[in-house]
Amino acid sequence: MSPANASHNRFGAHAAPITSATYGFGTLAIHAGSEPDAATGAVIPPLSLSTTFKQRAVGDFVYEYSRSDNPNRSNLEAAVAALEHGTHGFAFSSGSATTATVLNTLQPGSHVISVNDVYGGTHRYLNKVAQSMGVSTTFVDLAHIDNLRDAIRENTRLVWIETPTNPTLRLVDITAVAEIAHEAGLFVVVDNTFLSPYFQTPLDLGADIVVHSATKYINGHSDVVMGVAVTSNDALASKLRFLQNAIGAVPSPFDCYQAQRGIKTLHLRMRQHALNAQRVAEYLEASSFVESVIYPGLKSHPQHELACRQMRGFGGMVSFRIRGDTHTADRFLQRTRLFTLAESLGGVESLAELPARMTHAGLAPEERNELGITGNLIRLSVGVEDIEDLITDIAQALESAVRENDDEIAI
| C-beta of residue 224 within 8 angstroms of C-beta of residue 240 | no
CA-wise closest residue to 123 among 99, 146, 141: 99
Using a 10 angstrom Cβ sphere, with 0-12 exposed, 13-18 middle and 19 or more buried, the burial of residue 121 is middle
Q: Is 191 part of the annotated catalytic residue set? A: yes
**Rg for the chain (alpha carbons), in Å?**
22
157 is catalytic: no
Rounded Cα–Cα distance for residues 216 and 228 (Å): 11
Considering the candidates 157, 170, 216, 331, report the single residue annotated as catalytic.
216
Residue 128 falls in the annotated catalytic set: no
57, β-bridge pairs: 60
Amino acid at 82: A
Of 117, 191, 208, 330, catalytic:
191
The single residue of 67, 279, 335, 357 carrying the catalytic annotation is: 67
Angle 219-209-148 from CA coordinates, rounded to 5°: 120
| 55-91 core/surface letters (b: 16 or more CB in 10 A; e: else) | eeeeeeeebeebbebbbbbbbbbbbbbbbbbbebbbb
CA torsion 82-221-229-62 (nearest 10°) is -70
Within a 10 A sphere around the Cβ of 234, how many other Cβ atoms? 9
Closest CA to 320 of 289, 345, 362, 344: 289
- The single residue of 63, 69, 119, 368 carrying the catalytic annotation is 119
Q: Which residues are catalytic?
A: 67, 119, 191, 216
